Structure 1
Amino acid sequence: MRLFDFSLKLNGFEINKAKIALEKIQSLQKDGFNDYLNTTRQEILAFHLQNNSFYNAIFNEADVNNWESVPVMTKQHLQQPLEHRLSNAYRANTVYVNKTSGSSGDPFIFAKDKWCHALTWAEIMNRFSWYDLDFNTSKQARFYGIPLDKKGYYKERLKDWFSNRYRFSVFDLSDVAFEKVLAKFKSTHFDYINGYTSPIVQFAKFLKRKGVVLKTVCPSLKVCIVTSEMLFDEDKILLETQLGIPIVNEYGASELDLIAFQNPKDEWQINSETLFVEILDGEDNVLPYGKEGRIVITSLYNKAHPFIRYDIGDVGILDKKSTIQKPILKKLIGRTNDIASLPSGKTATGLTFYYITKCVIEDDGNVAEFVIEQLSLDTFKIKYVSKDELSANKKESIGKAMIQYLEPGISIIFERLPKLDRSKSGKLKQFTSLIK
């Protein structure tokens, strides 16, 4: 029995019809696809203008025939009760309801109608099939958070059973915990790994210390798919080496869909079937391919809740070789709210600090993981987990790197901790600005 498909149908998601609909979209030729995109985005805009009082009240100046006149939505627009945002004829008990992780600093509850959510799953299953993975038959090793309350815990475990996956908690990254993880891989025919980047990287570091390549003890493994957190080039090399399998990068948002997925040609291919992705400048103008800007996304099928020209809070670049039918995400730079303001008035993405520091303190394997907090314009705190205290030379090197890449006058505070705090979902936020 195809348990995963069955569980979706049981919850009212018509996955078989969604797969057929997706195949029809993917079979369109260039002109047919352009017509499909223009028609579909006009239809979803017209629907919400006519059937969603929340959207109409704020964005009524949107012109169905002039897409670039459509105002940009932000997460701040959505900071109100869900029942105020649902379209006519939709109720919370008849749609898929979930909550964003809050990693952007603006968590909110959202909804998708059941057809939209079925298409989301069809899209995800299609992308995973690029690597010969079938959610009904392929065994997943899952590195995700799990609720610690009894009801939430067992609910997730039941979902894992239906989804043919085994979940490893990301809240304990000790060697003792990883020994148990390794033992499970030795005794289970896992087909793939899926989960948050940082705990999988920590597991790979553990394997390196043990002198173990995971593929040798679990030969059935085909691929590792990382998501939700930044994947740096050095970490990707580490994962490829210690896991012994290809590493695939996924980019998605729970309120939308799978946004981009690394294809077998090593391109970060954007989902153009159920989403419309644009890169905009600070004045909401569409930027050409190759230019850096805000990632703004339209959900083409969600009738229960509008996500139209929705600023997801990320910054990225579309590759110059992109087309309307096959957009390629060249680079995901980081979140717009992860911007550090410097004493000179200059700004830098928070991941700049993370990357500079990472290059300096992770070269000898002493530091397991770390995060950076901005306390004031000129003061940053580095919280880290390590076997030994950072040496004076290491701290001095970090200070010099900050000056070289950014500017003088920056103070660094170091705080060594036994472990780092993670969000309730299990994600690790690499950079946080505490400046209001």
Structure 2
Amino acid sequence: MILLFDISLQLNGFPIKKAKTELDKIVRFSEKEFASFLESKKTEIVDFHLKNNPFYKGLAGNATAQNWENLPVLNKQNLQKPLEERLSKGYSKKNVYLNKTSGSSGTPFVFAKDKYSHALTWASNIMRFGWFGINFNHSYQARFYGIPMDFIGYQKERFKDFLTHRYRFPVFDLSNEVLEKFLQKFKTKKFDYLNGYTSSIVLFAKFLEQKNIILNEICPTIKACFVTSEMLFEMDKKLLEKQFGIPIISEYGASELDLIAFENPQGEWQVNAETLFVEILDENNNPVPNGTEGKIVITSLFNKANPFIRYEIGDIGILDEKSTPQKPILKKLIGRTNDVAILPSGKKSPGLTFYYVTKSIIEDDGNVKEFIIKQTKLDTFEIEYIAEKELISAQIEKIKDAIDLYLEPNLNFIFSKKIKIDRNKSGKLKQFSSLL
């Protein structure tokens, strides 16, 4: 069999064979071997950037890997400088993998990975999808994603889809007519798995529920569904399991880093400890004990082109008490740090709390297909929703009561029914945003 996926990586200068061999070795380490691997990689990557990256040296000053806690915690604003100023010696735009972050956090920037580090990212993806019997060289993917709309970008992405054995369902228009076309494709193509944005895949499942269709009955080849980039709530997971008839797996990643956590076959969110070092820190950048929430801060152990050392990704999470350095488990991902609602009482609440509370009421009868919440003033929230029929006052009252209970009383809500909710350029749906 032609290993088209591996070959296309090799041809683009990403040494996938070497990366797979190294990853395989890391995975087989004993606990003791892993501990010394982790310490040596942390020291090696910091020393490398202190010697070869003036940008990082300027931020780190006299701090060294030996005093890990004294190394600066980088954020996205630190990295919003021209890439040329951030590249290590020996790297240029010509000999690295270049991309830009999605900007879902509101602060996009261009980043680089050296080619070996990017090959390791792919080796890590291949291994994790392999846990569920998916092989990128021959498994056929139904991809629910955005796509560039300019001609060259569009053709390039379609060609990439061909090489990587996937069929793309663009998520910018998810009206019933479009979802009906999606459904026909599942009847005629032998897909092995779905992969894509949570909100779009959930919407497709709701469409199937309306039509009383179970996906793996009309597409018997389908084995698993992987959702990414947006929160998957428990009730949505149940809906997906029911309407698709296959395992639903959550992944959590960042384009500038790697897959950060991936649900393993035991249902745990296993953190990628092979290519990343993940810390949970408090507001003063001190480590918190496992089981306590804090900022997620990540070090890329292999990327020599661009320093991602103690990089604050902008998310809040909790590591499970049973985590070990070799197998950290992400107990909970609470949401993005910049999506926090500040209330009139001074209370701060993750915006997703609003979304979650409202969701549990608003979707009871299946009328509301999608909705987003925007905070427009300290005490005012706008809820835009797509539905067959307008919300009735009893539902609105129920939402207000729940929010009184979970958050605080005397908040104002403006409900507006829409035909379409705008997604960002990549096709993601920002479920809560504060305009303050």
TM over 0.5: yes
Q: Is 1:293 aligned to residue 294 of structure 2?
A: yes
Which residue is 1:161 aligned to? 162
Residue identity opposite 2:92 in structure 1:
R
How far residue 67 of structure 1 moved from its aligned partner, in angstroms, is 1.2
TM-score normalized by structure 2?
A: 0.99
Which residue is 1:342 aligned to? 343
- Cα deviation, 1:287-333, whole Å, max 9, x if unaligned, reads 11101000000000000000000000000000000000000000000
Which residue is 2:65 aligned to? 64
Which residue is 1:6 aligned to? 7
Which residue is 1:322 aligned to? 323
Percent identity, aligned pairs only, is 61
Which residue is 1:199 aligned to? 200
Which residue is 1:89 aligned to? 90
Equivalent residue runs for 1:274-285 within 5 Å: 274-285=275-286
Which residue is 1:151 aligned to? 152
In 2, the alpha carbon distance for the partners of 1:2 and 1:51 equals 36
Give the 3-state SS of the residue equivalent to 2:262 in structure 1: strand
Which residue is 2:360 aligned to? 359
Give the 3-state SS of the residue equivalent to 2:134 in structure 1: coil
How far residue 178 of structure 1 moved from its aligned partner, in angstroms, is 1.0
In 2, the alpha carbon distance for the partners of 1:227 and 1:319 equals 21
- Cα deviation, 1:18-50, whole Å, max 9, x if unaligned, reads 000000111110111000000001100010011
Mind listing any 5+ residue stretches in structure 2 that lack a counterpart?
Answer: none
How far residue 400 of structure 1 moved from its aligned partner, in angstroms, is 1.1
How far residue 61 of structure 1 moved from its aligned partner, in angstroms, is 2.9
- Cα deviation, 1:310-362, whole Å, max 9, x if unaligned, reads 00000000000000000000000000101110000111000000001101110
How far residue 205 of structure 1 moved from its aligned partner, in angstroms, is 0.3
Residue identity opposite 2:243 in structure 1:
Q
In 2, the alpha carbon distance for the partners of 1:350 and 1:185 equals 35
In 1, the alpha carbon distance for the partners of 2:117 and 2:63 equals 23
Equivalent residue runs for 1:357-436 within 5 Å: 357-435=358-436
Give the 3-state SS of the residue equivalent to 1:394 in structure 2: helix
**Does the CA-based 8 Å contact 2:59-2:72 persist in structure 1?**
no
**Does the CA-based 8 Å contact 2:226-2:251 persist in structure 1?**
yes
- Cα deviation, 1:259-294, whole Å, max 9, x if unaligned, reads 000000000000000000000000100111101000
Residue identity opposite 1:79 in structure 2:
Q
- Cα deviation, 1:154-175, whole Å, max 9, x if unaligned, reads 1000000000000001011111
TM-score normalized by structure 1?
A: 0.99
In 2, the alpha carbon distance for the partners of 1:21 and 1:386 equals 51
Residue identity opposite 1:74 in structure 2:
N
Which residue is 1:104 aligned to? 105
In 2, the alpha carbon distance for the partners of 1:350 and 1:162 equals 39
In 2, the alpha carbon distance for the partners of 1:104 and 1:62 equals 29
Which residue is 2:122 aligned to? 121
**Number of paired residues?**
435
Equivalent residue runs for 1:239-278 within 5 Å: 239-278=240-279
- Cα deviation, 1:382-413, whole Å, max 9, x if unaligned, reads 01111001111111111111111111120001
Mind listing any 5+ residue stretches in structure 1 that lack a counterpart?
Answer: none
**Does the CA-based 8 Å contact 2:260-2:276 persist in structure 1?**
yes
In 2, the alpha carbon distance for the partners of 1:95 and 1:222 equals 35
Give the 3-state SS of the residue equivalent to 1:321 in structure 2: coil
How far residue 66 of structure 1 moved from its aligned partner, in angstroms, is 1.6
Residue identity opposite 2:136 in structure 1:
F
In 1, the alpha carbon distance for the partners of 2:425 and 2:3 equals 31
How far residue 70 of structure 1 moved from its aligned partner, in angstroms, is 1.1
**Does the CA-based 8 Å contact 2:290-2:319 persist in structure 1?**
yes
How far residue 64 of structure 1 moved from its aligned partner, in angstroms, is 2.0
Residue identity opposite 2:424 in structure 1:
S
How far residue 62 of structure 1 moved from its aligned partner, in angstroms, is 1.9
Residue identity opposite 2:37 in structure 1:
Y
Q: CA RMSD in A?
A: 0.6
Q: Is 1:140 aligned to residue 146 of structure 2?
A: no
Residue identity opposite 2:285 in structure 1:
D
How far residue 98 of structure 1 moved from its aligned partner, in angstroms, is 0.4
In 1, the alpha carbon distance for the partners of 2:62 and 2:155 equals 47
Residue identity opposite 1:201 in structure 2:
V
Give the 3-state SS of the residue equivalent to 1:38 in structure 2: helix
